[in-house]
Amino acid sequence: MTVIDANRMQEIEARYPEYFHRSFRQRFGGLMILIATLVYGLYAVWFFDLPKLLAEAHWERVGIYLSQWVSYDVQPDFRIQDDGSIEVRYPRFSPLGDNPHPDWVVNNPDGSITVSVSGTNRSVTVSKSQTIVTAHGVSVPVNVSSGAPEVVGPVPSWMTVYDDNVLADLGFAGDVSISVDRVKVRKRFLGWANFLFDTQSSFFDKPVGDVLGLIVSGPRIKPDQSNLSLAFDEIWNNSEWQHGDVWTKLFQTIVMAFLGTLLGSLAAFPLAFLAARNITPNRLLNQILKRFFDFLRSVDMLIWALFLTRAFGPGPLAGSGAIFLTETGTLGKLYSEGLENIDNKPREGIKSTGAQTVLVHRYGIMPQIIPVIVSQTLYQWESNVRGATIIGAVGAGGIGLKLWEAMRTNANWENVAYMVILILIVVFLFDAASNALRHRLMGTNSH
């Protein structure tokens, strides 16, 4: 075993003081950061009153909205007339068409009507004096002959009684609202109704085989138009899903992102050379341009979109302008910082040959800065596809505005899901294309 004497120990301590005489920050810095993070977390919980927010949040709406993303409902309305007859009505724009006769609504011999909400396990039978709701293994009669609906027997947990209404929750299958002269049933179906052909289409409610047969070899439905062309027109102009408008707005969003990023990069490129200290030795000009970049970046793209929609009106022009202003600031800063971090030796070598300034920049600077420009510009282009969706919601055009309009109705959540899925697909494709193009142009392995 080697023994270190006191002199040798002092020599080692003098040579490596950072290991033997650590400062308070070095010894307790990690612990202080952890304590500060915990304190800040507790402060945020208190400041935002998170326990109260969590307790008062409408968590049940999450399930409702998600179920509406993947399903649609049909709402027959049963009106009890004065003579005891029952009139069946459907909403004006019912997914079943103008005059539906679904097989899950059955007229009984005694004049009552039975609605199969979910097979035989959940059903509603409506008569002039009583409505019977069958669900969860029990049948609950509700009398409707008096001034207010009255549940016969104990009220189950899935049924709520109000002054003039009884609401029965049948889960995902739907629900039933019962009043004295009216019973409204909501029956839910998985899927997206009429996604290809709406109720006004010539192909509505036809089996797939019949539709394909008509398109391939069937007689023309309209003499002046082929069935294939007619089918495409009716899909594109579907009044419920509005495919044509949605895809047009999606294309507008892509064009907004591309145009704004392209113009921003073209404006930022020459300004970056003027802002870089090692390229333009004018400190005043450097600082003015860098502060200009900071100003353009500090105003969020959404705020620029609000300003420009007031100036030019709603539309893609305002969206492209908002992206252009933001990207001029962002890319100008990135380009100038990339220029300031280049190796000056190639530049000085070319300059020593007496080459003109343009040639010095071309051969001494551009080979070093091109990878940064390509990488950052493609990343911003990909990011702006997402950003263009957001600014569209404030009137800058594109699919964002369409998405916001569908959300505001609080009823067309399946249309919202459709547009969200399209946006996700576009973002995924642009991300993959951006990565592939970046690796190809920079000569790196994408794997």
Any residues with CB less than 8 A from the CB of 156 and at least 6 apart, and which?
136, 138, 140
Mean pLDDT comparison of 118-132, 139-153, 243-257, 352-366, highest-scoring range: 243-257
Output the CA torsion 367→370→372→378 (10° steps): -160
Among candidate residues 402, 407, 437, 405, the one with its CA nearest the CA of residue 423: 402
The model carries a pTM of 0.79
Judge whether residue 121 has pLDDT over 60.
Answer: yes
Report the alpha-carbon distance of residue 197 to residue 201 in Å, rounded: 6
Could you report the per-residue pLDDT of 307-319, keeping only the tens digit for each? 998 888 888 888 8
What count of other Cβ atoms lies within 10 Å of the Cβ of residue 162? 11
Angle, helices 243-275/366-391, rounded to nearest 10 degrees:
140
Tokens 């040579």 locate to: 15
Backbone angles phi and psi of 363, in degrees to 5: -105, -20
Question: What whole-number percentage of the chain has pLDDT above 70?
Answer: 94
H/E segment holding residue 228? helix 227-236
pLDDT tens, residue by residue, 151-177:
998 999 999 999 889 999 998 889 999
385-410: per-residue pLDDT in tens? 888 888 888 878 788 888 888 888 87
CA pair distance 325, 261, nearest whole angstrom = 9
The mean per-residue pLDDT over the stretch 17-40 comes to 80
Scan for tokens 């290991």, then name that residue: 19
Closest-CA residue to 202 (of 228, 177, 176, 184): 228
